[in-house]
Structure formats: C-alpha cells, structure tokens
Structure 1
Amino acid sequence: MINFKQVETFRAVMLSRSMTQAARELHTSQPNISRVIGQLEKQIGMRLFERAAGRLVPTPEGQAFFRDVERSFIGLRSLENSAASILKRGVGRLRIGSVPSMALTLAPTTIQRFSKLFPDVVVSLHVSDSVSVGQWTATGYSDIGIASYVHDSQGIDVELLGEMTGVCIVPSTHRLAKGRGALKPDDLDGEPFLSHAYGDGTRQRIDAPFTKDREDARILACESHYAAAICKMVGLGMGVSVVNPIVAHSYRYSDIVVRRFLPAISFPTYALHPQHQPRSLLNREFAALFEACMQEEARAMLKAR
C-alpha cells in the first residue's frame, strides 16, 4: 500500500524537478529520496522519472499520477483549513443552562464577548434553578451549566468559578439604610423579609445564621427564585433581604441600599460540565470568559464602595 511519505516525496520531486532540492525541503538526504522514489515505482509498477541530459524529467505516467496526487493534497489542505477554522471560530451551537441570578447579570456580557470570538456559533440560554441546570447538564440538554449550588453531582463535573460574600439590601428610606457597619441577624428581627424560594440551596445558606442558636424573628413576606425580583421588591419598600452582591450591584440605582452582613454568607458560582466527556473548545472558552466577567464585577464592586 502506498504510504504518505512516498506520496510526499514524489510530490516534492515533481515540484522541484530535483532530488537534491526535494531532500532539502523534506530535511533528508538525496540517497533517501532516491530510495523512496524507487520503492514507489516498484510498488505501482511503472517508471515515474527519466534522466534526460542530466535533468530529471517526469514520464507521461508520472505526470498523470501527479495530477491525482495534487487532488489528494488539495483535499488535505482543505482539511487543514477546516481544522484551523474550527479552532479559531468554533462550530455549531452552545447551549447554556443558568440560574436566574447569573442569567440576568453576568451571562449576557459573557455571551456578548463569546459571540465576538465565535460569530458563527449559535448560543441558546435556558434559565431555571440550580437543580434543573444540573439535570440539564447531566442529560446533555445543556453543554454547560451555571449554578449557585450543586444538589447532585451525578453525571456532571463541577468547576468553581468564583465565590462572593452575600450582602443585605434594604429600601433607601429604611432605618437600616444609614450607617456603614455590618448588619447582623438580630438587626432584621421583626422586618418583612424577601426570601429565596423554599428548597433552594441558597436559601438554606441564608437562613442558617437566622436560626442558629436563636428563634428566627424575621417575617416572611415573599419568596422568589429570582434575586433580581427580590431587589426590585426591596426597592419598592416591601422588605429587606440578603442576596448575591453581583445582583445587588446590578440594581444599585433602584432605591436600594447595600450593607455588609455578618456572619458571612457564601454565594458560590459553579460551571457544570457533562461528565465523562471531553470539554469542547466552546465549553472551555465560555467558562473562562464567565470567570473573567466575575472577576471584573468583583473589582467594580470594590471601587463602588
């Protein structure tokens, strides 16, 4: 069977009409070029070159064979170009599952930057709670998930993108809007509290300081899966809450005041990837861009204090 080395050597000799020059181009010796051509001629059963007045001249059979070789190399170049295009631009579609807090804040900016890098890729964003995002990723419905907590890691690989400390938000006219110190659970006793939805892992983290070694004295006013909706309701004077600082920062002009809260409540953000599958270029790039956006937002929040 003809191998690639034989075809490459034949092509180099045809283009240069010199075994010596072909040897230089292929970084080998002239005797090795001659040997490979001899093997090829023996294998296909015909002469490819003749010597005429000291020059290497292709036979008619060699010229016919070269035309087929060139077509094969054009196909190889096409494959190389295709690989380069995939590497540079990506292909197909990227399906993202995200929790609402990130879908309404960092995800749009990340998608904008991603689309500039991969303009030929169709991006679809699907929004639900962390449990659903995890299930979407595990079943392959989503190529990547952005979650606030991990309910079940079966079928997914989990990557921590960043971690923020929760903040307390109060209406701008509220008694707690004044001052710069950190608020504590007992400061919110008797206050209408706008909470994350029951069963949400984030709510469990928020509730913990209010119920540890004490009776929870907050007044549950409303529940929502959307931290953005909570921020809006706080701005309308409906109560107070503790939320992800990224969401609070996005609503800082909507009649809310952001205060530090102790003890610290962690708000992590995870990238979820399908388990036992190699991560695609698109998957890796989106996760990296999202992490970069988180870091930029963290710096912006520090400047805004």
Structure 2
Amino acid sequence: MSIPDATDTRQLNLGQTEPAVAQCAVYPWCAETGNHTMHASAYTEPPTPDGYGDSVLPANVMAEGGAPTIGWLDLDLTPEETRARVTELRQHLDTVDALANAVDGQAPLEPAAECYSVTATGAKGALLSSEIYHLDNPKPGEPAARIAVFGQPEADADLDVAGADQLAADLAQFLPRLRAQRNHLAAILQSGEPTPLTVTAAPGHFPWCNLAGCRTHEYEARDGGGTYIEHAGHETVVTLSDGHTTDDIRISVGLGADEAYTNTPQVYLAAGNLDVLGLDANGVDTAIAQLEALTSALRTMRGQMDSEARP
C-alpha cells in the first residue's frame, strides 16, 4: 500500500465511534470490563484520610472462582464476618469519641440515670427512647434489670431532606448511648447490684437456672457412678408466620449447661426441625451482630414496601 492509500484509509475511519467496552456480565457490582476472571468492585473509602493523606480502611467486593468476599482490613471476609467487624469498630469509635470528650472536659455518658431519645423535626414526641429499669418481681432465672425501648404514643413524622439528616445524626448519637446502657446493664447483672428482689442461686445451680427445668442424671456404674446436672434457664420462643400455621417457623433460645460435657454455660438456639446450635460467648456475640444486621435489613425492606413504586 502506498502512503497516499494509507492516509485515505485513516481519513475514512475518522469520526467513527469506538466500540464500547463490554461490561461484566457476571456480577452487577463488578467494575472490571472486557475479558476478566478476577471480579472487583470499585473501592469505597471514607472521606477522611490519615495524616499521610492515605485512605483509611478502603474496602471492595471481589470474586475469583468462588463466592464473593469483602476485601477489607487486609482480609477476605464473608458478609457475616464483615458485619461482626463493623460492630467491633463502631464500639471502638464510641471509645475514641469518649477520649475527645475527656479532653474537652465533657461529662461522660450516664446510662444509669438518663433516658436517651431519638427525635425529629415535626414529630409529636420522641420516636425512640431507651432506659434501664429494674423488675419489681422477677421470676427465678429472669434478669432483674432490663433496657426498656419505646416510642411516644402516636409519635410520627413526615421528613424532608433536612429532617432526615437530623434524624440520622440523632440516631448516630443514640447508638453509643444505647451501647453504654447495654454495658451498664451487663455490669449490673454481673455485679449483683442490689435490686428489688435479689436472685440467689440454689446450691449446685446457676443464678439463672429454672430449677423446674434442670435435670439430675446418674452416671453409669461402669463410669464410676455419681450424678451430674443438666442446667436449663428459661426459654424464649418466637414464631414467625405468614398466616399459614403449617408454614410457621419456630425459633427458641435458652441458656443451659450440661455438666456431662462442660460447666461453661451455652446458649442453645433451635430453628424449626434443624439441629440445635450450642453457642459459647463468642458465638452469641456473632449471632447478635448477625441478627442486628438482619433486623436492619428488615427495617429497610419494610420502608421500601411503602415508599418504592414500580415504574
């Protein structure tokens, strides 16, 4: 081809649209284009860098030949593990915030004396409040103190953008206060702080034992004889239903300790006909974080049921 021919060919191509780069057809969150086997979303980064200008705790979603994971904290985390780490960091941020208060001389939270509330402009009352209270007559094995969470009767609000911002900010302040109340409640129950009725453990039993549910068993003679106790606390049961009782899902939790295996209490969780889970303290903390995430998702979906219309 001569030089003039090449020039003419180039001029014929001028103005033509370059072919679009193919978007990922596997995952809608994937930011990679063209042929690729490593799927990755764009990074999410907090707006505040560290003292060197570097991003703090960047995270993204990744997948390569397996289930997607969240790349965060130099780890590949499952959704459940991510939510548990987020819960830990939120608690840490509360502690950091308390350091700032200490420097400024602000009074620390007083969860035992205050009722913390969430409000919004235009609401008829507090949308959400929490405070610790002592039971006047707790049943054996029942906690002698609890956190009451409530809203004012008929309190509601129609929010504009500014109102939603205020509510979000109020909720952000409410969460560390609620966690402070939770920690104070745990301290009350662990220290045996005097209450209107003190729960005393029966000999050989835990304070939380439901003596009517505890069972004493005998070891076989070939095992040396003697007895052991299968401790049981009060059980909490919820039933999830869509109106068809045959499809109901029954979930129960109860505290127990079987001396044949361990003296350490465990929370036993049962759902329907599935095998019962025996959760230690770490397992309970993880379950709480997972259920909090589930509850948050349910609240979001509940709002979407009313607010989102099909196009």
**TM-score above 0.5:** no
TM-score (norm 1): 0.23
Which protein, 1 or 2, shows the higher relative CO under an 8 Å CA cutoff with sep ≥ 6?
A: 1
TM-score (norm 2): 0.23
Point out the structure with the larger helix share: 1
Kindly name which structure, 1 or 2, has the bigger radius of gyration based on alpha carbons: 1
